[in-house]
């Protein structure tokens, strides 16, 4: 009863036939009432930072001509996906934290899962595209303008969204054809794949969640960077990859923790904790990582908001 709810509570509920399920009840993060207001304030602050930070990144990239390059074109779409990714989960979550009945309709749950997978897969693929962009820039600098031309960048981004939509429709259709006969209580704060599968009485062993891994791009980048003879060249190359590596580590650390564990050690409460990192923390931290760890973005911010204007604004 303290803190996170136990999975055993789900298994003791009265069975519900699939045809009788018209809504689900989200159990959320915790049942402790003393934590509701602090959690609401914390997640509201994180959501505001996510919106302001990512919108700021998009506006800065679109208005500063120095940032009209393939890498920042991809980054602007990553920021847009982060906004959508958070907006699918956090507004509903904030409402449910302060309400007694945490109900979501059957169709609403399917829609939330569908859009969650769309933007989750798209984010994975955009990070892969950004990793490939850095690989070409460092390993094949002379061919970079030819390979990463305008139409190629457009197709890479469009392909990421298209694969995300296909992936989402396939997985959502597949999951919601299962029979939900154990309960209609979802031990999570949104309609995620794992807790929905935990409610199903159908055979789900053949269902596998596949994630696109792009870390192999960095396996090629690192040796190429180390082969650069000049110390200044190595420093510049590492500076262009540091932000990407930090974001990739944050995003995939939680995913690998969730999906590469043995099934015997898998617990939905641990799943909820890990999911917080890549559904809420990563979209919040991405703009901070890319602005604080990237010299070009910091230079663009200085051009947009010169220190002299700061002094004048404070003085006024």
- pLDDT band of 241, cuts 50, 70, 90: low
Structure confidence by residue, pLDDT tens digits, 76-104:
999 999 999 899 999 988 988 888 778 88
97 vs 262, more confident: 97
| Closest alpha carbon to 89 in 26, 30, 5 | 26
Structure confidence by residue, pLDDT tens digits, 176-220:
887 777 678 888 888 888 788 777 776 555 554 444 444 445 555
Mean pLDDT computed over 141-168: 92
pLDDT score recorded for residue 246 = 63
CA–CA–CA angle 298, 302, 308 (5° rounding)? 150
- pLDDT band of 14, cuts 50, 70, 90: very low
221 vs 26, more confident: 26
pLDDT score recorded for residue 242 = 60
Neighbours of 173 (CB within 10 A): 11
pLDDT score recorded for residue 7 = 37
23-26 and 103-105 as β-strands: parallel, antiparallel, unpaired?
A: antiparallel
Q: Which of 50-54, 219-223, 263-267 has the lowest mean pLDDT?
A: 263-267
Residue 25 host element (H or E) = strand 23-26
315 vs 56, more confident: 56
3 vs 82, more confident: 82
CA 183 – CA 219 distance, rounded (Å):
45
Torsion angle defined by CA atoms of residues 175, 176, 182 and 183, in that order, rounded to the nearest 10 degrees = 120
Angstrom CA distances, 140 to 59, 145, 213, 216, stand at 30, 10, 22, 16
Whether 248 has a pLDDT exceeding 70, the answer reads no
> How much of the chain exceeds pLDDT 90, in percent?
23
pLDDT score recorded for residue 115 = 94
pLDDT score recorded for residue 43 = 92
15-305 CATH choice from 1.20.1070.10, 3.30.1360.40, 1.10.20.140, 1.10.10.10: 1.20.1070.10
Structure confidence by residue, pLDDT tens digits, 19-65:
456 788 888 887 777 888 898 999 999 999 999 999 999 999 999 88
- Can you give the length of the chain in residues? 316
């Amino acid at each position: 009863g303290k803190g996170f709810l136990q999975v055993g509570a789900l298994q003791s509920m009265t069975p519900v036939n699939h045809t009788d399920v018209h809504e689900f009840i989200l159990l959320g993060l915790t049942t402790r009432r003393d934590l509701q207001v602090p959690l609401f304030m914390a997640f509201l602050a994180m959501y505001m930072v996510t919106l302001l930070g990512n919108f700021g990144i998009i506006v800065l990239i679109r208005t500063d001509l120095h940032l009209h390059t393939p890498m920042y074109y991809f980054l602007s779409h990553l920021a847009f996906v982060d906004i959508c990714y958070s907006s699918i989960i956090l507004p509903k979550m904030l409402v449910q934290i302060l309400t007694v009945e945490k109900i979501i309709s059957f169709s609403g749950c399917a829609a939330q899962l569908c859009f969650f997978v769309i933007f989750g897969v798209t984010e994975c693929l955009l990070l892969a595209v950004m990793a490939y962009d850095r690989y070409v820039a460092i390993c094949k600098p002379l061919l970079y303008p030819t390979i990463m031309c305008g139409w190629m960048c457009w197709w890479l981004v469009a392909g990421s969204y298209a694969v995300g939509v296909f992936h989402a429709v396939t997985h959502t259709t597949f999951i919601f054809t299962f029979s939900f006969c154990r309960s209609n209580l979802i031990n999570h704060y949104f309609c995620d794949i794992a807790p929905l599968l935990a409610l199903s009485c159908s055979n789900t062993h053949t269902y596998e969640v596949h994630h696109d891994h792009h870390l192999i791009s960095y396996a090629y980048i690192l040796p190429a960077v180390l082969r650069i003879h000049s110390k200044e060249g190595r420093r510049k190359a590492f500076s262009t990859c540091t932000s990407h590596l930090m974001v990739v580590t944050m995003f995939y650390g939680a995913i690998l923790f969730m999906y590469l564990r043995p099934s015997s050690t898998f617990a939905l409460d641990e799943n909820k904790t890990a999911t917080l990192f890549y559904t809420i923390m990563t979209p919040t931290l991405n703009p901070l990582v890319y602005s604080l760890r990237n010299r070009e973005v910091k230079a663009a911010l200085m051009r947009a908001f010169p220190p002299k204007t700061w002094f004048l604004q404070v003085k006024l």
